[in-house]
Amino acid sequence: MQVANEWDGLEPLPQRLDRLALCGRPGDVALVDRDGELDFDGLDRAVGALAAHLADRAVPGDRIASWLPKTRTACLLALACARAGLVHVPVNPLLKRAQVAHILANSDARLLITQPAREKLLEDSDLPVGCRILSEDCLLDHPVPLPPSSGDTDVLAALLYTSGSTGRPKGVMLSHANLWLGAIAVAHYLRVEPGDRTLAVLPLSFDAGLNQLLSTWAAGARAVPLDYLVANDVVRAVERHGITTLAGVPPLWIQLAEAQWPPEVAARLRILSATGGRMPVPLVRRLRELFPRASLTLMYGLTEAFRSTRLDPALVDAHPESIGRAIPFAEVMVVRPDGRIAADGEPGELVHAGSLVGQGYWRDPERTALRYRPAPAGSMLGGMAVWSGDTVKRDADGLLRFVGRDDEMIKVSGNRVSPTEIEEAAVASGAASEAVALGVPDERLGQAIRLVVRGTGDEARLLAHFKAELPTFQQPREVIWVDDLPRNPNGKLDRVAIAKMHGA
């Protein structure tokens, strides 16, 4: 078991999330976007104004959804909802209409903040009863901005929707304490300083993407949000804004490692971090060569626990295959099937306990009970823990190595993809009677989707439906048509047999 011992200098008592706007020094820039610069005083005022608008339209505890690119409003909403006592529900801007409708309905959102072009994509039936759409243009200044909030830090602050191996995305419930301590911990171990500039390229609906913003402000540093199309967009932004800090998922790092980096631009980066999947060792080596002046931190995280482990940059060259040790405020254990702590070198389930553990899945007690269970008897911190379903090993030095996923999740470009959602889309196309989605290794994406289908053979119709209904990262890379699919004695599709037959 491992409890992070790097708490020296950290304040273990959480605060309300919106107080991150108060962490910077007066006059220091907090945010740079298309609307210009916002210093920390301006950040606090803007958060207060947005919070006041929301408080005029909702009551504490209401869920406020946003479906936006990385606009200023999108960046401020987590803090503004926290200040108004509301629950933020960020929706991935890549999702299509039906997926947005599911999140709105499941969260019972009171407001959806979006843009006119996106609003036109929705139908009246996509909104739950009582939910209103607001354009972000309506939420600018306010005559009476709300002051910083105070009160219970264990109350719900955000729902982050993440896919499971079965069913549709589920909302992970995160409190002010979870998000605050996650921001403090990451800012601390990455050693972010007030003079740093973070290029925020990850989606704000992704736990690591939200954390990149919050941890930057926790350190009193500057965030520069970017919606990029190609890797060279990132290179140019690093040069234009003097970026020093960059986080990415493995597929993005693959693209960035292949991009053309002027040596003087590469030399500006001093903090790199990777999360969202296994980093291939050759890629780690390439990044160390490309950015020799930058520290590289390899991280493992769970949305359900909002960060778990990290590998110290000093150990990356010697242990590039490792995901490191527990981060501050976390206890990470390797647990045998019988509930005992595994020995060094023995595989077991990664179990995370401590202050970063979330509050379960929104209105889903059945799935909550499967993932959130009491910590094992050998835990030092005890309490409720997240049983990850991921298999890891711990070496004699206490370093963890990822072995594999016990569930059937497919991870494409850092996005968790539910096979069930892909299979339902295939059947909905009218071209498939049955379908099984498999994850297969892909050097650039981490995994790609291989779809095994029994149906009409009309591949053009099938792919046209996927293109219309699902985002890019949920498109199958290949389709295999079959006459029949094997079943188990209970009459259900035999996924293990199908995976063996089709190379997954």
* 429-436 contacts at long range (C-beta below 8 A, 24 or more positions apart): 429/461, 429/462, 429/464, 429/465, 429/466, 430/456, 430/461, 430/465, 431/455, 431/456, 431/457, 431/458, 431/459, 431/461, 431/462, 431/465, 432/456, 432/462, 434/485, 434/493, 436/485, 436/493, 436/495, 436/498
Q: For residue 224, what pLDDT is reported?
A: 98
Structure-model confidence comparison of residues 216 and 416, the more confident one: 216
Q: What are the pLDDT digits (tens) for 298-330?
A: 999 999 998 899 999 999 999 999 999 999 999
452: domain CATH number?
A: 3.30.300.30
Structure-model confidence comparison of residues 138 and 491, the more confident one: 138
**Within 10 A of 382 (CB to CB), how many other CB atoms are there?**
13
Binned at pLDDT 50, 70 and 90, residue 169 comes out as: confident
Residue that is last in its domain, among 107, 133, 150: 150
**Within 10 A of 11 (CB to CB), how many other CB atoms are there?**
10
Q: What are the pLDDT digits (tens) for 62-93?
A: 999 999 999 999 999 999 999 999 999 999 99
Residue that is last in its domain, among 150, 184, 205: 150
Residue 491 in any domain: the answer is yes
Does the pLDDT of residue 6 top 90, yes or no?
A: no
Residue 462 in any domain: the answer is yes
Are 305 and 357 in contact, with CB atoms under 8 Å apart?
A: yes
Q: For residue 358, what pLDDT is reported?
A: 98
- Computed on alpha carbons and rounded to an integer, the radius of gyration of the chain in Å comes to 22
Q: For residue 364, what pLDDT is reported?
A: 95
Print the domain residue range for 109. Answer: 17-21+36-150
Does the pLDDT of residue 40 top 80, yes or no?
A: yes
Structure-model confidence comparison of residues 504 and 90, the more confident one: 90
Q: What are the pLDDT digits (tens) for 335-369?
A: 999 999 999 999 999 999 999 999 999 999 999 99
Residue 421 in any domain: the answer is yes
Q: What are the pLDDT digits (tens) for 20-32?
A: 999 999 999 999 9
130: domain CATH number?
A: 3.40.50.980
Q: For residue 491, what pLDDT is reported?
A: 60
Average predicted confidence (pLDDT) for the chain: 93
Average pLDDT over residues 452-456: 94
Are 277 and 249 in contact, with CB atoms under 8 Å apart?
A: yes
Residue 278 in any domain: the answer is no
Does the pLDDT of residue 7 top 70, yes or no?
A: no
Q: For residue 4, what pLDDT is reported?
A: 63
Average pLDDT over residues 399-419: 84
Q: For residue 8, what pLDDT is reported?
A: 56
Structure-model confidence comparison of residues 166 and 33, the more confident one: 33
Least confident of 51-65, 143-157, 490-504: 490-504
Q: What are the pLDDT digits (tens) for 460-488?
A: 999 999 999 999 999 999 999 999 988 86
Q: For residue 504, what pLDDT is reported?
A: 62
Q: For residue 181, what pLDDT is reported?
A: 96
Q: What are the pLDDT digits (tens) for 185-218?
A: 999 999 999 999 999 999 999 999 999 999 999 9
Average pLDDT over residues 126-146: 93
Q: Is the dihedral of CA 73, 196, 219, 216 positive or negative?
A: positive
Does the pLDDT of residue 9 top 80, yes or no?
A: no
Q: For residue 416, what pLDDT is reported?
A: 80
pTM of the model: 0.89
Residue 494 in any domain: the answer is yes
Distance CA 237, CA 249 (A): 18
Residue 293 in any domain: the answer is no
Binned at pLDDT 50, 70 and 90, residue 490 comes out as: low
* 210-214 contacts at long range (C-beta below 8 A, 24 or more positions apart): 210/78, 210/90, 210/158, 210/160, 210/179, 211/179, 211/182, 211/183, 211/186, 211/306, 211/307, 212/247, 213/75, 213/78, 214/17, 214/20, 214/78, 214/179, 214/182, 214/183
Residue that is last in its domain, among 125, 150, 175: 150
Cα-based torsion angle of the residue sequence 283, 286, 291, 294 in order, rounded to the nearest 10 degrees: 50
Percent of the chain with pLDDT over 70: 96
Binned at pLDDT 50, 70 and 90, residue 414 comes out as: confident
Residue 428 in any domain: the answer is yes
Are 450 and 480 in contact, with CB atoms under 8 Å apart?
A: yes
Does the pLDDT of residue 1 top 90, yes or no?
A: no
Q: For residue 185, what pLDDT is reported?
A: 96
Residue 43 in any domain: the answer is yes
Question: Structural domain tally of the chain?
Answer: 2
What are the counts of helices (DSSP H) followed by strands (DSSP E) for the chain?
14, 26
Helix (H) or strand (E) holding 436: strand 432-442
